[in-house]
Structure 1
């Protein structure tokens, strides 16, 4: 049976493609020496396309010469900066800095920021309104944690950024989603733009934004909005398209205009699904705060980045945990709003307190804490003498682990480097660029047809033509190894969780924790344990990309039709046979989607691991950021996006074919 599967035409095609690629990869250097043809291993310099220079020149023209008649492009970007800066300054003054009049030594504080008790009480009240007192207690504990462990000031600066970035991202995403719903041609035109926005590395956003908007928190907010908006656009489009036809018909029968239909019928009906998009915007905004600190965001992100640069393990983990605490609070509250039922309308003769009890309570909290803070300092600011720190604990823990398990950790690192990372790296980096282009086109064409094959070949050729072939192959190798390990760990965990309710609860909590950790937080303990290098990068990527492999595997196993399971039991299948012959084949589409998402997360994290010494496309983007080289950053970022798009399209085609084969379409 196994031999028959290995000798089918499809299997023989893949074996042949791998064998030819492996041979050329192994002997490419010998071929170059034998034929004195350097072009075999390196794309000829004379053939390279100078996209980098063209983009840099275009950006320079935009800033120096571009004009719209009444105003220049530079004036337009400064106007946008001013519009964003006004609400950001207000939010930061309200939460962190207070309201100040004057500059420098003449500055006078008009009013202090909201006290820590006021912010905590307001957060508790919002959580209670969203769900129940259990959620309120969790959110309250999160904010009290920030005060007790001395992270309040930085946390409020971060929260001010999120408070401004999330509404802009949500409103912009909803507007584009509505446009996609109303005009299918607009959705088709916007889809490749969203693909690029979601696959271009975060660092690549920062380079042109830094060039256009300058260094500072406004640039960081613009980068955050661009990064966080695409999921909202996609969710809004799907949410509006899936509103039940009966609801739409009822709106037409009630005589709704086009505007009323949208805002009175469609958007309220799609509210729970739209809140999922809001949740994604919040989490992505928090994930961006550390990266945006590179261009002036400040707050907890800057604290983590400073700790990473100075190898301050204790301070970095404390600031990272503070981000996790904020992420948990905002994530749980936004999820609660997604499932919240509408309030019962109050009686028409009800007073202000009956109609708006939470708003009245919020006003009383703000006014009461302000007045008390004038006389009792503890109400306004948490006393510094009562703050705690876990920094020495983390420092000692890491030191103890390094001393006690140094030989074990070093052996694990050496094993993976010797038997996995280096052999795979030699294979990918040895592939001649021409062979790689042909192999990518043939593989994609075999899975998804000639159009997908042509697209993959063209994108691969463009990567080679800009002189980034070696860096791209290093990226593919690191991503491939990381995804292989994450998938090998995640799928068994997901299958286990999918078949046992208690395991599902424990694994779900573990995965939720991994997903709320910002990407940079993974780097600090990994660097402390394994130092810089490709192995550290791989460990960080595996941890970051593990979640979708687990989630999709669990979902695929749990969503198998019970009738199919019953049929297997009637046929006399053992539990092992039921898993391998029934559940896993039927869960294949979900497993492939999990693989797809694992690759996407791995690529996004791989660019961030440039900070720990990788030599791939991520390093090119990071170097471009440090030099403010717009062309280099965009070209390297688009190369990463091309790799992501090729992988996405190939795996999506495999999932589609799997569904057709199983009759699930």
Structure 2
């Protein structure tokens, strides 16, 4: 008897298909007919809700008012930490911006002036030349000169002072935690969920407890920046240390290295290329944090962007945002070049030379500081960049948006209303009408199919916790906004990534654009969106798409560019057309990376949705923002944890799907599905 080729595969899969069919039928029946019978499945009764919000608020109140360690209270400890951070910050701020002061407040007198703009740019050029030669010197000097020319110097120096404290602490702290996780499995197990929460809980959510514990001011802002930037460095440090080849371990053991020597002379130097990726992430995230940190006293460029948003001054907002981008480029290139630079071994003749001969860059920097400071005392333009030489876009951005509104208002409104009435609102109503118990069940079933019982329990527990903490309705609005935004970002970004992947010049231009998009502060995207579309869900969606589109482009292009050329040649030899090569070979092999890009797009969309609460959304982001304005720790953390749970569920499901796909395509072993 003849059997069809797909019959054995169908027989193997029929139990799973049956389970999915039964689950979907039950879900549809519950959705259509269950509300009159089981109203609790759609709206959780208040008596079933867990009062986590009250528990957290009570715990924070106890920490601030009553917790003590004998001789000092918990508040004394946190304020001591804030003071320990503030001391070096004040010193660096004095050197860069305010000068060295005697006293505090309005009674403070200036003992020494700050470094002049010429000195700071000159030191940046010297560092660039020392680390990477003439080209890097020109690039770094140009970045700092850009900040001065566009009138952002004072604000940029305040931001730079906080970055010079937060970045080293974040790098050292992340490296030490990564080393501890590398050495001890228990530490890694304990850190993994903590790092997940730190990376997915919105920043606004933990600004309130930081304010309570550390007070209002730049120290609190630096601590918030460190908390935000620490997790990527920890994760990357662990991965980089694990990627050190076994030959390096063998070399250390053969030479009789102690544990300390093995760590600092073998493992860390061998892992340096990977560690520098973490350094890059710490710098970028710290600069991305400066606007949010300005809400709790950081000042600087972040405050300038925030003030421009309040005034809807696009020109000023973009100038401050581009100044942040310039600082990010300069600091990133300097750190990468310094890490890659090989130390010069001094010869005997060099050691006998003068101090000036042995340390030319240090001496040049000191001379530049002294000469420029003395010159600044004689001529003010040599101390502070003159306003007459500053360039400003002024009202150019506002005028451009105004022109668009005047000439294309009807068309923009038509697009907005069409999408609102036909896509956004129906999808929102659909999600809000779903039974929470059914959604939890479907997520658990998806987790089981993709990753087994452990993933099923994780997705079910996290989604159920959202319901039982009273955040279900807000969470569904968040999912609706995030889902629509991510779908549009992928529909736009994936074709751009496909187009740019095979064209080197196009890819270099696209990469420059998406690097800028990812470095620009998220608040900058709100201003043109608000001026063009007013406030509401559509405006939030536009801002989220603009902010989150970069990973969809980057990972698509990355996946396509790393496809094995031999497979492409085999397809051409087999007579495949360009369309068949793209759809049957390149996209299939790049699909795991595209899924990772989808994952990152979701993460960025969720982080941006909290900020779009400023333009009138009614989701979890608004709950977090209201909690910040009311200093309600419990409300903010519960809403923030709900956002984190959504992010973790999406991350785990997409990662499991990507791993299974890699195994199916032969790009990874089956062992990866069990780890």
Contact 1:120/1:144 (CA < 8 Å) preserved in 2?
yes
Structure 1 regions of 5+ residues with no counterpart?
A: none
Q: What's the TM-score, normalizing by structure 1?
A: 0.95
Greater shift in the superposed pair: 88-97 or 558-567? 558-567
Structure 2 residue 450 is matched with structure 1 residue 447 = yes
Structure 2 residue 507 is matched with structure 1 residue 528 = no
Would the alpha carbon gap of residues 110 and 15 (structure 1) be closer, same or farther in structure 2, given more than 3 Å must change?
A: farther
User: Which residue pairs with 1:343 in the alignment?
Assistant: 343
Output the CA distance in 2 between the equivalents of 1:171 and 1:343: 21
SS at match of 2:101: strand
Instruction: Say which of 625, 640, 653 aligns to 1:637.
Output: 640
User: Which residue pairs with 2:190 in the alignment?
Assistant: 189
Deviation at 1:373, TM superposition (A): 1.3
Output the CA distance in 1 between the equivalents of 2:386 and 2:476: 53
Instruction: Say which of 492, 512, 519 aligns to 1:516.
Output: 519
Instruction: Say which of 480, 489, 492 aligns to 1:489.
Output: 492
Deviations 1:376-415 (A, max 9, x none): 2221111123323212222211211111121122122112
Instruction: Say which of 412, 415, 420 aligns to 2:415.
Output: 412
Would the alpha carbon gap of residues 21 and 364 (structure 1) be closer, same or farther in structure 2, given more than 3 Å must change?
A: farther
Output the CA distance in 1 between the equivalents of 2:213 and 2:226: 15
User: Which residue pairs with 1:138 in the alignment?
Assistant: 139
Greater shift in the superposed pair: 97-106 or 606-615? 97-106
Contact 2:131/2:341 (CA < 8 Å) preserved in 1?
no
User: Which residue pairs with 2:176 in the alignment?
Assistant: 175
Deviations 1:104-142 (A, max 9, x none): 554321011111111111112222223232232222222
Instruction: Say which of 579, 595, 599 aligns to 1:596.
Output: 599
Greater shift in the superposed pair: 100-109 or 644-653? 100-109
Contact 1:593/1:652 (CA < 8 Å) preserved in 2?
yes
Contact 2:96/2:157 (CA < 8 Å) preserved in 1?
yes
Output the CA distance in 1 between the equivalents of 2:25 and 2:408: 40
Deviations 1:462-490 (A, max 9, x none): 11011110000011111111111111111
Would the alpha carbon gap of residues 245 and 397 (structure 1) be closer, same or farther in structure 2, given more than 3 Å must change?
A: same
Deviation at 1:194, TM superposition (A): 0.6
Contact 2:170/2:230 (CA < 8 Å) preserved in 1?
yes
* Superposition pairs of residues 150-299 of structure 1, within 5 angstroms: 150-299=151-300
RMSD value over aligned CA atoms? 2.2
Output the CA distance in 2 between the equivalents of 1:587 and 1:330: 32
Output the CA distance in 2 between the equivalents of 1:245 and 1:454: 36
Greater shift in the superposed pair: 115-124 or 305-314? 305-314
Output the CA distance in 1 between the equivalents of 2:229 and 2:460: 30
* Superposition pairs of residues 21-100 of structure 1, within 5 angstroms: 21=27, 25=31, 27=32, 32=35, 34-35=36-37, 38-100=39-101
Q: What's the TM-score, normalizing by structure 2?
A: 0.93
Structure 2 residue 540 is matched with structure 1 residue 537 = yes
Output the CA distance in 2 between the equivalents of 1:58 and 1:658: 44
User: Which residue pairs with 2:567 in the alignment?
Assistant: 564
Deviation at 1:451, TM superposition (A): 1.7
Would the alpha carbon gap of residues 408 and 129 (structure 1) be closer, same or farther in structure 2, given more than 3 Å must change?
A: farther
Greater shift in the superposed pair: 139-148 or 207-216? 139-148
Output the CA distance in 2 between the equivalents of 1:623 and 1:219: 20
Output the CA distance in 2 between the equivalents of 1:473 and 1:444: 19
Structure 2 residue 484 is matched with structure 1 residue 460 = no
SS at match of 1:296: coil
Deviations 1:157-212 (A, max 9, x none): 11111111001101111111111111122112211111111111111121111111
Instruction: Say which of 387, 392, 396 aligns to 1:393.
Output: 396
Output the CA distance in 2 between the equivalents of 1:380 and 1:40: 68
Deviation at 1:23, TM superposition (A): 6.5
Contact 2:162/2:222 (CA < 8 Å) preserved in 1?
yes
Would the alpha carbon gap of residues 87 and 451 (structure 1) be closer, same or farther in structure 2, given more than 3 Å must change?
A: same
User: Which residue pairs with 1:652 in the alignment?
Assistant: 655
User: Which residue pairs with 2:621 in the alignment?
Assistant: 618
* Superposition pairs of residues 354-393 of structure 1, within 5 angstroms: 354-393=357-396
Contact 2:314/2:395 (CA < 8 Å) preserved in 1?
no
Would the alpha carbon gap of residues 108 and 411 (structure 1) be closer, same or farther in structure 2, given more than 3 Å must change?
A: same
Structure 2 regions of 5+ residues with no counterpart?
A: 669-675
SS at match of 1:391: coil
Deviation at 1:314, TM superposition (A): 2.8
Output the CA distance in 1 between the equivalents of 2:68 and 2:105: 36
Contact 1:318/1:391 (CA < 8 Å) preserved in 2?
no
Contact 1:6/1:12 (CA < 8 Å) preserved in 2?
no
Deviation at 1:41, TM superposition (A): 2.7
Output the CA distance in 2 between the equivalents of 1:500 and 1:346: 46
Give the total of aligned pairs. Answer: 658
Deviation at 1:20, TM superposition (A): 5.9
